[in-house]
Amino acid sequence: MPLCHLAPLFNAIATVAAISAICTSATLTNKKEVDTCPLRVMKFSMSPIVSVAVECRDNSDLPKLVEESGEHIVAGPGGLHLDMCLRDLEENFMGGAPIIVSLTIVSFCETVLERSCRTVMSKSYNKHNCLYMEARPMEQGLAEAIDEGRIDPRDDPKVRSKILSDEFGWDKDVAKKIRCFRPEATSPNMVVDMCKGVQYLNEIKDSIVAGFQWVSKEGALAEENMCGICFEVCDVVVHADAIHRGGGQIIPTARRAIYASQLTTKPRLMEPMGVPIYLVEIQAPESTLPSIYSLLSQNRGLVFQEILRPGISLYNIKAYLPVYESFLFSSRLTSSTSGQAFHQCVFDHWDVVPSDPLEEYTLAARMVSEVRQRKGLKKQVKI
């Protein structure tokens, strides 16, 4: 490879220097150029949606596993990626020490379908403070706009209120009173101040936001992340003495009010496709199509495209498949088609599980029960 002393823009070059400080990406520059700004960090948009818990078979190997946070969780975007990570963990990072792996865990989200049927009230432990709240779903497209960064907490409030007013029908005055949204990189949710003429509200605002940040990562159904919910603070009654309205009183009160407002709507569990949803693409000969359609139907899959590839007798089938149903899909597909079908799964979107999680014997209720049992919670949701 010829040496290069100068490279124009938009060209790739290779360096032979071993730079141990670079983990994933970096900007190289002349150290004299003190005003040089770094390039934008690469965005890795694929979130982990399946995970497993791992533990050492031999307790003497525990120091090899526990680092920094001490959590024994391995997460990834799919089963194949998870298997590769577990193999690397056991062979490369633990020196071949055997590990015990739990059953695969699917990430869920919690959302709501309509506005709360009534305004809920939560009273602080000292009985001196009250919060009145309602919950409602975000407007269609708003959660995606927050995810994509078109609406950001660091935006100018006037610019943000104009976008919310023009694109999502918000009142401009209300749009300027968003107290918090998308806290700590969880799924998009927000708190809006709808109060008028309330004393001491600004003094407890941070406590309400802290309660919201806590609750938005642990929803009322199964302590999963909330997604696409707007919580409105309708009224506040607080004690005039600051000592009686501290964070120790307001944060738990806000938590209970948010939980109650979520449960007085129509709460729903979301899986990727609504349990998360995979976009699965299958290539197979025509003779295997009945088996493929039957298998997809058994696993709540939804076929939306079937194309015959020109020149060869293979069909391309595209379908949506809930991640919750995908773990044995590969082996079942191979078995039912005698190895003639090949597939690839990519995470596509979240979707609502089509049943009420608060009604017994429904699919959503079974999912909520499984998650709560795994987390050591009471089997029934407390209403």
Q: What is the CATH number of the domain that holds 295?
A: 3.30.70.240
Q: What is the mean pLDDT of residues 307-336?
A: 85
- Domain hosting 313: range is 275-351
Model's pTM, two decimal places? 0.72
Q: Are residues 118 and 261 in the same domain?
A: yes
Residue 47 lies in a domain: no
CA distance 329 to 65: 31
Q: Which of 91-100, 235-244, 342-351 has the highest mean pLDDT?
A: 235-244
Residue 366 lies in a domain: no
Q: How many domains does the structure of the chain reveal? A: 2
Q: Which of 26-30, 66-70, 354-358 has the highest mean pLDDT?
A: 354-358
* Selected residue with higher pLDDT from 15 and 17: 15
Last residue of a domain, one of 222, 248, 270: 270
| pLDDT value, residue 64 | 63
* Selected residue with higher pLDDT from 104 and 17: 104
Structure-block tokens of residue 332: 């079942």
Last residue of a domain, one of 270, 286, 320: 270
Place of tokens 């109650």: 260
| pLDDT value, residue 25 | 64
Res. 370: pLDDT tops 60: yes
| pLDDT value, residue 229 | 94
Alpha-helical (H) ranges within the chain are: 62-65, 79-88, 142-148, 157-168, 172-175, 201-215, 247-263, 289-298, 329-336, 363-374
Residue 369 lies in a domain: no
Parallel/antiparallel/unpaired status of strands 267-271 and 109-112? antiparallel
Residue 236 neighbours by CB under 8 Å, 6+ apart: 129, 130, 131, 132, 195, 198, 200, 201, 204
CATH number at residue 149: 3.30.230.10
DSSP annotation of 271: E
Nearest to 262 by CA among 219, 310, 210: 219
Q: Are residues 262 and 181 in the same domain?
A: yes
DSSP string computed for 110-126: EEESS--SS-EEEE-TT
| pLDDT value, residue 330 | 82
Res. 85: pLDDT tops 70: yes
As a whole number, the mean pLDDT across the chain is: 83
| pLDDT value, residue 277 | 64
For the segment 221-240, what is each residue's pLDDT rounded down to a tens digit? 988 889 899 999 999 999 99
Res. 20: pLDDT tops 70: no
Q: Which of 77-91, 162-176, 326-340 has the highest mean pLDDT?
A: 162-176
* Selected residue with higher pLDDT from 300 and 16: 300
Residue 128 lies in a domain: yes
Q: What is the mean pLDDT of residues 328-333?
A: 85
CA distance 321 to 78: 12
| pLDDT value, residue 347 | 79
Q: Is 253 helix (H, G, I), strand (E, B) or coil?
A: helix
Confidence of residue 112 (pLDDT cuts 50, 70, 90): very high
Confidence of residue 18 (pLDDT cuts 50, 70, 90): low
Structure-block tokens of residue 179: 């107290």
CA distance 55 to 61: 9
Residue 80 lies in a domain: no
| pLDDT value, residue 7 | 77
Q: Are residues 121 and 261 in the same domain?
A: yes
Residue 26 lies in a domain: no
Least confident stretch, 43-47, 168-172, 235-239, 301-305 = 43-47
Is there a contact between 301 and 351 (Cβ–Cβ < 8 Å)?
Answer: no
Q: Are residues 246 and 292 in the same domain?
A: no
Q: Are residues 130 and 194 in the same domain?
A: yes
Residue 104 lies in a domain: no
DSSP string computed for 189-234: EEEEE---S-TTHHHHHHHHHHHHHHHTTS-TTTSPEE-SEEEEEE
Q: Are residues 265 and 281 in the same domain?
A: no
DSSP annotation of 352: E
